[in-house]
Amino acid sequence: MNINVNGKPVETAATNIAELAKELNLPEKGVAMAISMQMIQRQEWETTQLTEGCNVLIIKAACGG
């Protein structure tokens, strides 16, 4: 399936955003994900399905100033 992650095209075998997070080796903490600009709570990642062409935004927490 082809999706967009942070504005870049990505081909993935993931069917939900939990699988996508694993596929992209995202850390377990300090990451937020949104589909079509709607934030998805972590407990809903396994039940939130990806669809062809969807737009996923991944935000990683950063320390510093």
What is the DSSP annotation of 36-59? Answer: TTEEE-GGGGGG-B--TT-EEEEE
Q: Report whether pLDDT(11) > 90.
A: yes
Spatial CA neighbour of 54 closest among 41, 36, 39: 36
Structure confidence by residue, pLDDT tens digits, 12-65? 999 999 999 999 999 989 999 999 999 999 999 999 999 999 999 999 988 776
Residue 10 CA to residue 20 CA, distance in Å, equals 10
pLDDT computed for residue 21 by the predictor: 97
Contact 3, 48 (CB under 8 A): no
